[in-house]
Amino acid sequence: MAPPPYATGPERVWHYTFRTVCAFIFIFLIGPILVIVPLSFNAEPYFTFTKAMVAFDPEGYSLRWYEDFFTSDSWLGAIRNSFIVAIFSTLLATTLGTVAALGMSSRYMPYRVPIMAVLISPMIVPLIISAAGMFFFFSKYQLTQTYTGVILAHTALGIPFVVITVTATLTGFNHSLTRAAASLGASPVRTFFKVVLPLVTPGVVSGALFAFITSFDEVVVVLFIAGPEQRTVPIQMWSGIREQISPTILAVATLLVMVSIVLLTVLELLRRRSERLRGLTPG
């Protein structure tokens, strides 16, 4: 977008300088992804661009690494574990986080600031500390190397995202609607499902997606809590880099990037829907 006609010389210089800096930052962030995607189609078992790939020779490109992924029992097992853990931990984190956010939004909630600090602490405390603490705590109850332990650990990591997104949605919530529903005889449960939940659904779904991504991408906690039977995709990728360098890892990374793009698109659509519900113009 060009600067307005009335912009002065320094303002025009700042306009184009700012956009140039933003472009360099964008390239810096997106660069690794732009490299990974074409390398995943490499016909040779290398992590570099071959002469055939640089020359755009069809012989230099192949789907062999995607075929290796979809025919490998270890990779498919890791995908299954990741989805099992991510889905159940997302359901728990969304339920608990939404209830916590509703409680925090009440004006009668005492000690709101310290409680909020505790709820979002998994986002602030270094992950290695949280993982070590979970390991010693779960070991006491024989929850290590079990699906239950991994799901509970990922639930703890996902709750802060749900709390933050739902709390942000409730910031502009008109509480006179709940009072009106109560005056008309609606019970608290009916008021929640008929009035509150439809309005905070964008925040709930956004938090659930963040919790799902966090669980699907987690490495450190899984290393501490999980056993061989609970190996997830990030752990499989990490082990593959250590044990054998195979472009199959790049194929998996490309597929995960595509999933992330879909989830981010859903988040953007939910954000626009939330703004429309509030009477704002989506921007």
154: domain CATH number is 1.10.3720.10
The reply to whether 185 falls in a domain is yes
The pLDDT score that the predictor gives to residue 201 is: 81
Helix, strand, coil fractions of the chain, as percent rounded to 5: 75, 0, 25
Q: Are residues 236 and 172 in the same domain?
A: yes
Structural domains counted in the chain: 2
Instruction: Please check whether residue 89 lies inside any domain of the structure.
Output: yes
Q: Which of 246, 257, 209, 208 is nearest to 93 (CA)?
A: 208
Q: Do 88 and 209 fall into the same domain?
A: yes
43 and 35 Cβ atoms separated by less than 8 Å: no
- Say if residue 93 is in the same domain as residue 226: yes
Q: Are residues 52 and 189 in the same domain?
A: no
First-residue to last-residue Cα distance in the chain: 16
3-class SS at 110? Answer: coil
In eight-state DSSP terms, residue 85 is: H
Question: Within this chain, do residues 54 and 103 fall inside the same structural domain, yes or no?
Answer: no
DSSP lists the bridge partners of residue 61 as: 42
If asked whether residues 29 and 85 sit together in one domain, one would say: no
Tokens linked to 87: 């889905």
One domain for residues 212 and 241: yes
Domain that holds residue 39: 9-60
Let me know whether 25 and 144 are in one domain: no
Kindly provide the b/e burial profile for residues 200-222, where b requires at least 16 CB atoms within 10 angstroms of the residue's own CB: bbbbbbbbbbbbbbbbbebebbb
pLDDT in tens, the chain (283 residues): 666 677 677 777 788 888 899 989 988 888 888 888 888 888 888 778 888 888 888 888 888 889 888 888 888 888 999 999 999 999 999 999 988 888 887 777 788 888 888 888 888 888 889 899 999 999 888 888 889 999 999 999 999 999 988 888 877 677 777 778 878 888 878 887 887 877 788 788 888 988 998 888 888 888 899 888 888 888 888 877 776 677 888 888 888 888 888 878 877 787 777 667 655 555 5
Is 95 in the same domain as 199?
A: yes
pTM for the predicted model, two decimal places: 0.80
